[in-house]
A and B are shown apart, each in its own frame.
Chain A
Amino acid sequence: MMTFLSAVDWARAQFALTAIFHWLFVPLTLGLGLIMSVIETKYYRSGDAFWRRAAQFWQRLFGINFAMGVATGIILEFEFGTNWSNYSWFVGDIFGAPLAIEGIVAFFMESTFVAVMYFGWEKVSRGFHLASTWLTWIGATISAWWILVANSWMQYPVGCAFNPDTMRHEMVSFWQVAFSPFAVDKFLHTVISAWVIGAVFVVAVSAWYLLKRREAEREMALKSLRIGAIVGLIASVGAAVTGDESAYKVAQVQPMKLAAMEALYDGGNDVSLTGVAWVNPFEQPNYKEEHEAPLRLAVPNGLSLLATRSWHGYVPGVNDILKGYTREDGTREPSAQEKMARGRAAIQALADYRRAKNEGASEDEAAAYKQVLMDNFQYFGYGYIRDESELVPYIPVNFWAFRIMVGLGTLFILFFAYILFLNWKRRPTASGSVYPRWLLVAAIVLLPCAYICSESGWLVAEFGRQPWTIQDMLPVTASVSDIGSSAVATTFWLFLVLFTAMLVVEINIMLKQIKRGMKEVKSEK
C-alpha cells in the first residue's frame, strides 16, 4: 500500500489522524467544562453540599479527559515543520501568531485555574473557586478561538499581504484575521457543537447510573441528566442555527465545497436542497456527464435559500465553477482554465522577480514582475493544478459526512427535547423512573454518535476545501515538503498505534472512574 500513496497522501492522512484524535478530547473539555461550571454555580447559589459533590464528580471526569488531551495538538505543529515546510514558511506569522497566543493563554489560564479548581476546594472562598472553574472553561474556549482563527484563515485568507522577498505572508490587519466573519462563524458553530458532546456525555453517564439502579448516584444522575438535556437542547438548536450561517459563508467563499456537500453538478436558480440521493461512497461521481445524483429527494428552492438567502438565488454547481459563471451581482467568476493560466503567470512572475533581484536587474524591471505577480496572486495556487478535475474535492465524503452531521444533529434536538418533555410531565414509568428504559439505553448509544457527528463536521470542512491548504493560494501538492513517502508512512503507523493505546488508556480510566461513582468524591468538611 505504501508504494501506491505519495508523500502528500501520507502527510494528509497523518494530519487527519492526529487532528481526529485531538478532536476526541477538545469538544468534551469545552462541553463538560460548561456543564460542571453550571453545576458548581448551583452549589454557589444554594450552598447545598449535594451540588458540591456533583460538581466534584464531573470535575474528576473532566480532569481525566483534560489530562489525556494535553499536548496531543502539539504533534500537529511538529507535522507542519516536517511534512508541510513549504506551507509553514509561506503562511508566515499569520498562522504563528494565533497559535502562539493560544499556547500562552492555554498555559497560563488553564494551568492556574485548573489547579485552583482541583486543589482549592478547602483553600479558597466559594466565589473564587467558582470563578476559577468558569475561567478554566473560558480559557479552554479562548484556546479554541485562536486555533479556529488559524484554521479559518486557511479557508478564507484575509488581513494579509504576500512578500515575495521573504516568501512569507505578512499580517496587515490583526483584527481582520482574528475577527474574520468566517472565523466567527466557525468558532460559534464548533464550540456550540462541542457543548452538544458535553451534554450527551453527561446524559449518557447519568443514564448508565439509572439503568444500573445505583442508589448512591441516583439523585446526582437525575439532576445532571436534566441539566445535560437543557444544555444539550440549547446547544443542538444553536449548532443548527450557526451551522446554517456557516453554510451560507461557505457558499460565499468556498462554492466548490458547497457543491461537493450537495453533490450539485449543474447549478442555477431555484436550486433544491438535497435530502438524500445515491452517491456511491467509494467512487467520485461522473459530474461532467450526470446532471444530478440518482434517486434524489430534495426540498424545492432549499439550497438557493440556504446559500443566497433568496428563494430564487443562483447557486453554482461543480461544472459551473469549472467553466466560470456570472454571479447575481453581474460580476464574473473566471473559469478554472483562466485561473490556472493566471496562477502559472503569478508563479512565473515570482521566479522572474526573484531572478531579477538576485541578478541586480533594474528596479523598474523587478517592479514590473512584482506587479504581474500581485495582479495574479489571488489565483497563485491554481498555477500548481495540472488538470481541472484536481479542483473538485472528493464528493462522496463531503456528501455523506454532511448528511451524517445534519442527521445526527437533528436527532439530538429531538432526543433532548423528549427528555425535557418527560421531565416536565413527570409521569413515572413502570420502573418508577421518569425515563423509559429504551431512552436510557439510547442515551448511551448516542454517545459515540455525538463524536461521529462532530468528526463528520470536520471531514466536511477539511475534505471540502481540497485541494487547498490555503484557499486558492496554495494546494497540498505545493505545501508538502520534498520528503519520501515511506518516512511519513512510518510515522503514520506509529501514530496509529500510539493514539490507539492512549485512547484505550483513557477510556479505561474514565470507565473505572464512572463505575466508582460518587464514592471517591469527598464530603464537605
Chain B
Amino acid sequence: MPQESFWHKAFRLYYDGFRQMTLGRTLWLVIGVKLFVIFAILKVFFFPNFLKQNAGKGHEAEFVAGELVKRKAEAPPLRPELEDHSPFPSGPGVHERE
C-alpha cells in the first residue's frame, strides 16, 4: 500500500475531524452566527472607518491634525514664571495664539 503524503494526511485529519464532531457542531454553529453578526452586521452598519469617511484617503494626517489642534484647552491667565519657552521673541511658546 503506498504511503500517504503529508498533505493527504493533513486533509484527512481535518476532514475526518469535522465529520466526526459532536459538540463541535454546536460550537461551530455558534462561531458562525457570531462571525456573521460581527462582520456582516456590526462592521458594515455600525462601525464604519471614521477617517475614511470624513478625511478621505491621503488626507488623514491633515484631518487628525485639525482635530487635535482645535481641541486644545484655552489658556488661563499666565503666571510670570511660565511666560516664555519660545525660541522667538514673539514666536511660538506658551503664549497661545488662536
Residues of A within 8 A of B (CB): 60, 63-64, 67-68, 70-71, 74-75, 78-79, 81-83, 85-86, 88-90, 115-116, 118-120, 123-124, 165-168, 337-338, 340-345, 347-352, 354, 368-369, 371-372, 375-376, 383-386, 477-478, 481-483, 490-491, 494, 498, 502, 505, 509, 513, 520
Contacts and interface: CB of A to CB of B under 8 A. Distances in A.
A513 B61 CA distance: 52
B93 A86 contact: no
7 contacts: A70-B31, A119-B14, A124-B13, A344-B73, A354-B69, A375-B85, A477-B71
A165 B62 CA distance: 9
B98 to A, nearest CB: 9
A513 B68 contact: no
A123 B29 CA distance: 25
A342, A347, A351: which has the most chain B beta carbons within 10 Å? Answer: A351
A491 B26 contact: no
A112 to B, nearest CB: 9
Contact of A64 (B17, B27, B47, B68): B27
B73 A89 contact: no
Contacts of A494: 42, 46
A340 B73 contact: yes
Nearest to A338: B82
A60 B65 contact: no
A82, A115, A502: which has the most chain B beta carbons within 10 Å? Answer: A82
A513 to B, nearest CB: 7
Interface of B: 9, 12-14, 16-18, 20, 22-24, 26-28, 30-31, 34-35, 37-38, 42-43, 46-51, 54, 60-61, 64-65, 67-69, 71-75, 78-79, 82, 85-88, 91-94, 96-97
A483 B27 contact: no
A498 B37 contact: yes
Contacts of B54: 85, 482
Contacts of A375: 85
A348 B47 contact: no
Nearest to B61: A167
B46 A491 contact: yes
B29 to A, nearest CB: 10
Given A70-B31, A86-B64, A341-B82, 4 more contacts: A71-B34, A89-B61, A116-B13, A119-B17
B59 to A, nearest CB: 11
A71, A85, A120, A385: which has the most chain B beta carbons within 10 Å? Answer: A85
- At the interface, is chain B mostly helix, strand, loop or mixed? helix
A45 B73 CA distance: 65
Contacts of A348: 72, 92-93, 96-97
Contact of A60 (B13, B23, B60, B67): B23
Contact of A478 (B13, B14, B31, B71): B71
Nearest to A118: B17
Contact of B60 (A89, A368, A372, A513): A89
Q: Which 5 A-B pairs have the closest CB atoms?
A: A119-B17, A85-B50, A78-B47, A67-B27, A167-B61
Nearest to B75: A344
B38 A75 contact: yes
B79 A337 contact: yes
A371 B87 contact: yes
Nearest to B50: A85
Contacts of B78: 341
A380 B66 CA distance: 15
A277 to B, nearest CB: 33
Contact of A165 (B30, B43, B61): B61
B61 to A, nearest CB: 4
B65 A384 contact: no
Given A85-B51, A347-B72, A348-B96, A70 B34 contact: yes
Given A81-B50, A167-B65, A385 B13 contact: no
Contacts of B48: 81-82
A166, A341, A490, A502: which has the most chain B beta carbons within 10 Å? Answer: A341
Nearest to A383: B72
A124 B13 CA distance: 9
A514 to B, nearest CB: 12
Contact of B92 (A67, A85, A352): A352
A429 B40 CA distance: 56
Given A89-B64, A350-B68, A372 B87 contact: yes
B68 A478 contact: yes
A115 B13 contact: yes
